[in-house]
Structure 1
């Protein structure tokens, strides 16, 4: 069973996370955290888009605002 877990370790450490080793040896903090900043920007844009869509449905009155959302409640 231990070989199974060592296999999972080998897959992640040596193959899937190998591109991140490039960022480990950079001197600049901004460039080494570029991936995190890209994900943060994508998440922020997605949140703004989602809030805009929710406002459109709220302004049209399409949202069900009843107290119980299910018939069995």
Structure 2
């Protein structure tokens, strides 16, 4: 059983976290490249947030949501 857990650890150390090691190496070499990835992830998150808010507004405008007090049992 001990070998099983060592195999899981070896997988993640050697292969699973390899992309993070590559990003760390780029960050040490070039500050602009590291910040480019940060801005890219921020823009993707912001675009997903805007899409989600647009979808919520669509459902709200169609009156599809049950807004009664007894709509959810935990209320």
Structure 2 equivalent of residue 14 of structure 1:
14
TM-score, structure 1 as length reference: 0.71
Q: Distance between the aligned counterparts of 1:11 and 1:38, measured in 2?
A: 28
Question: How many angstroms does 1:70 deviate by?
Answer: 4.7
Structure 2 alignment gaps of length 5 or more: none
Alpha carbons of 1:30 and 1:4: their partners in 2 closer, same or farther (altered >3 Å)? farther
Among 55, 59, 62, the residue aligned to 1:60? 62
Structure 1 alignment gaps of length 5 or more: none
* RMSD of aligned Cα (Å): 2.3
Question: How many angstroms does 1:39 deviate by?
Answer: 3.2
Question: How many angstroms does 1:15 deviate by?
Answer: 1.1
Q: Distance between the aligned counterparts of 1:48 and 1:42, measured in 2?
A: 10
Structure 2 equivalent of residue 39 of structure 1:
41
TM-score, structure 2 as length reference: 0.69
Q: Distance between the aligned counterparts of 1:38 and 1:52, measured in 2?
A: 21
How many residues are treated as equivalent by the alignment?
71
Identify the range of structure 1 (12-21 vs 36-45) with the bigger mean alpha-carbon deviation. Answer: 36-45
Say which structure is richer in helix.
Answer: 2
